[in-house]
Each structure stands twice: as C-alpha cells, then as structure tokens.
Amino acid sequence: MTMLPDVPRKRSLVGTAFLIVFLVLLLFTVALVVLSFPVGLYSVFSGNLSKVFDYNSLSRPYFWIGPLLAYVPFRVPVGSVFAALSVIYVGMFVLSFRQGSNPISAVSRSLKEGEQALFSSPFIVTIITIAFLTFTASVMDVFISSTGVQIGTISGDPLALLAGFTSSPLVEELGFRVVLIGVIAMILCLGRPARTALKALWRPSAAIEGLAVGSGASLLIWGATGFSAVTFGACHVLCGSTWDIGKFPEAAYGGLVLGYVYVKYGLHVAVLAHWGVDYLGSVFAFFGQAAYGIPWNTTSHEFLGQYLVDLDMLLLFGLASFLLIVYVGIKKLMGMKKETLDVDKGLTGEPAVLS
C-alpha cells in the first residue's frame, strides 16, 4: 500500500483572525498579571485598605493536609507574608516562562503550525487556564443561581480578604493537590530513582510516563484527581466558610481543572491558575478602595482596573480561551478517531465499518 505524505492544510481566514485576536488578548492579560503585583503591594502597604488592620498586624499561618486544617504555633506580620508570597508567585511565573517552549516561540509556531503549539508553553497554558477557569466557573455560578440554589458570598475586612486571596492558592494546592494526588504519584515511583519520585510529586504525570496507556498507575492518579476535586468542593461548604451548598459544584469543578493542570504541567501551573482566579480576579478592586476610596465590593461604578479585569476574564479573553480549548479538544478527539480508523484499516486491509 502506497503511503501519501500529509498535505498541510491552509488556515482559514476566520481561524487566522481568531488566533490574532486571541494573541492580542493574551498580551493584554499578561499586562494585567504584571500590573497586579505592584497594585497588590500598594493595597497592602498603603495603610488605606483597612481601618482595623495594617501590614504590621499579626496573623497565624495555616495549611491543609487534605481536608484537615492546621495552624502553625506562631504569628507573622501580614505584610511580610504577602511580600514573601508575591516573590514566590513571581518565581513560579519565571519558571513557567523558562520551561517547555519559549512563549514567543510557541506563539510563532502557532501561526504556522496551529493553535496546539500554544500549549507547549507552560506560561501560556497558565494564562489560558486562569481565563478559562474564571469564565466557565462564572457561567456555572450564574446557572446555579438561576435554579434558586444559594451559593453564598464573601465578606469581611478588605485587608484580611486580600491576604486570604493571596495565600489560599499556594496553601490549598499543596493541601489538596500535592497531598491527595502528588503523594500517590510519588508512592507509585517507589523502586525507581529518587529524582523520578520528586518529579512525580511536582508533576504527577511523570509517574506514568513510559507506561502503557490505561495502566493501573494512570487510573490511580486520575482517580485521586477526581477525589481531590470532590474533597476540595466539600471543604468549601463544610469547613467553616461562608459558602452555601451551591458553591460545591463550582468549587469541585475548579478543583478538577486545577488537578488536571497539576498532573499534566506541574504544581506551579496549578498554583498560578488558582492565584489568577482568587488574587488577580479581585486585587484591582482592593486597589480601587485603597487608592480612591471605591468600595472593593461595589456593584456599580467599580474601579476602572477591576472593570477591565472583569471584562477581560468574563467576556473577552475568558470566552476566547474557552472557545480555543473546546476547538483544540475537538480536533484532538477527531485526530484520535481518525488514527483508530487508520489502524483498523491497516489491520484488516479493508475500510473499517462502524455499526
């Protein structure tokens, strides 16, 4: 049987236009991410955000061990914790930028080879995941609210809330993803080099690389991912928070998305995606209150910076990221189906017949 080489397909005008618009929105979102760091530092250290606390106020750090909450036996200044966490998040962004394909190279390749090339850059994956998760979770919240099920609201001192939005991504990803998924992946690497076990703790897919698809190890890791998501959702409702039962499906869904990127790309991508939803999604509102006295939780006349974040995440880049992931996912499924049909044809010598 003669094998014919694949003929490159020309990109449609609509596809090219969408990709260009997507890349422009990606650049705009990256700019918002960069600005969010000085904006957050001003909000915390200006002294204008809270009438009760300031950056020298002491707080007791906590951490999660799966669904168990534990507090450390000492207190530290809020400002010090915020600054240290900001440095950690910047370092994670730098790491994601340096791993895999260079973002500029990935963008260049996407214009030639297709949208899938964007996912070769962990940095771009991080930004896309932030927008995708914000958009889809918001749509889910609207749907849940329309059924009459209560979701709950966030309230409290603005400085305390901003500190919580800053610490939760790292603390919760360590407690729910690393403890409930990564530790299992590391145990599966017993008997293999220690470096492999550590890689599996950081990125659980390292534990199943080179193994047969559908192996028991793969099933255990993805099963742990589902369990982590359900536990994450349940703790939002049951662990002393202000959320109602309607928060469970949205939080569990978020945990599933974060678990997926943790398994496939690593802890830093999951932490930064979580950070984008919690911190980036609200820090400009807190800045508006600290700098201009605009209440962070106002439902009208919100600060311009927060308006731009909402517009970008809930409509522009959020919708574009959703459409991109759906499109790439459909293409991948169709490619897998075509590959299966080609294999069947090669084995039988006849075209496969679907009954």
Q: Is 129 helix (H, G, I), strand (E, B) or coil?
A: helix
Give the number of other CB atoms < 10 A from CB of residue 243.
21
Say what the pTM is: 0.91
pLDDT at 6: 43
pLDDT at 333: 84
- Residue type (1 letter), 352: A
pLDDT at 346: 57
Q: What angle do CA 108, 102, 111 make, to 5 degrees?
A: 15
Q: Give the integer Cα–Cα distance in Å for 353 and 286.
A: 60
Q: Give the integer Cα–Cα distance in Å for 10 and 252.
A: 40
State which residues of the chain have pLDDT below 70.
1-11, 210-214, 240, 336-355
pLDDT at 151: 93
pLDDT at 4: 40
Q: Give the integer Cα–Cα distance in Å for 308 and 39.
A: 14
Q: Give the integer Cα–Cα distance in Å for 173 and 191.
A: 27
Please give the C-alpha separations between residue 56 and each of 46, 79, 214, in angstroms, as whole numbers. 12, 6, 52
Cβ 58 vs Cβ 73: under 8 Å: no
DSSP class of residue 119 equals G
